[in-house]
Amino acid sequence: MSAPLVRVAVLASGSGSNLQALLQADLRPAEVALVICNVAGAGALEKAKAAGIEHRLIEHKAFPSREAFDQAILEQLLAKRIDWVVLAGFMRILTKVVLDAFPERVVNIHPALLPAFPGTHAQAQALRAGVRITGCTVHLVDSGMDTGPILAQTAVPVRPQDDEAALSRRILREEHRTYPRVIKALAAGQLQKDKNGRPFLGLEGPGALSALRVPAFEEEQP
């Protein structure tokens, strides 16, 4: 008998492009078992519905506090026996209500090479700083703003003609490639600890995931 699939819940607030990338990828031994969205009418809900994935609308505005909102999310996660929580454009900072229930099992993707340019509008931050390389980072979520342990990064060059929209599109394309690979690796048990107890993705053995991917710049599409 085959082992049960690792159950993933995706939390989203917007169009759901990273959700779509996860739904289209081979995540085995993981599966997207639940999508939770906090914004009515968001594209992520429609993508989940179209894919036949269980989905819930839990609007944060309906709750008196962040903790009460997170408790409603947690109840759904526990009811659906979720193993990993994946943030995909989820525009809320989770509290200890969820983080303590899923220690080192909440993951996020950010459109910059953390620790550079945390928070919102990371692409615009990169352009203002004049960096020549930026990218995306997958990290575990802690109580800070994009401060959790880094699991994987993909570099994206900044071109002289880039504006925020153009750079965002190219970073997003790499997010769609990177995030499914990381979720698959996590579900396969590749999360390890270094000598100081800090989590990292194992780099040994067949199919191991490199922590830093640098696509050939000449292969990039506009």
Closest listed residue to residue 37, CA positions, set 97, 109, 90, 95: 90
| Nearest-angstrom CA–CA distance, 66 and 70 | 6
Pair 185, 201 in one domain: yes
* Burial of residue 60 (number of CB atoms within 10 Å: 0-12, 13-18, 19+): middle
Contacts of 34 (CB under 8 A, 6+ apart): 7, 8, 9, 10, 53, 54, 55, 56, 76, 77, 80, 82
Contact 85, 105 (CB under 8 A): yes
Q: What is the pLDDT of residues 116-142, one digit of tens each?
A: 999 999 999 999 999 999 999 999 999
Pair 18, 66 in one domain: yes
Of the listed 55, 60, 110, 176, which one is catalytic?
110
Closest listed residue to residue 187, CA positions, set 63, 51, 33: 33
Pair 120, 145 in one domain: yes
Last residue of a domain, one of 103, 133, 153: 103
Q: Residue 176 pLDDT more than 50?
A: yes
Last residue of a domain, one of 68, 103, 138: 103
Pair 82, 156 in one domain: no
The three-state secondary structure class of 140 is strand
Pair 20, 85 in one domain: yes
Pair 99, 113 in one domain: no
Model-level pTM?
0.92
| Residue 202 banded pLDDT, cuts 50, 70, 90 | confident
Pair 123, 47 in one domain: no
Last residue of a domain, one of 58, 78, 103: 103
Pair 95, 128 in one domain: no
Q: Residue 7 pLDDT more than 90?
A: yes
Q: Residue 204 pLDDT more than 70?
A: no
Mean pLDDT of the chain: 92
Beta strands in 1-46 (DSSP E): 6-12, 30-37
| Residue 209 banded pLDDT, cuts 50, 70, 90 | low
pLDDT, mean of residues 29-40? 97
Pair 50, 154 in one domain: no
Across-strand partners of 195? none
Q: What is the pLDDT of residues 82-108, one digit of tens each?
A: 999 999 999 999 999 999 999 999 999
Number of domains observed in the structure of the chain = 2
pLDDT score for 24: 97
Output the domain CATH number for residue 63.
Answer: 3.40.50.170
Pair 122, 219 in one domain: yes
Pair 6, 29 in one domain: yes
pLDDT score for 206: 45
Range of the domain at 35: 1-103
Pair 123, 194 in one domain: yes
Annotated catalytic residue 121? no
Helix, strand, coil % in the chain, rounded to nearest 5? 30, 25, 45
Q: Residue 46 pLDDT more than 50?
A: yes
Percent of the chain with pLDDT over 90: 87
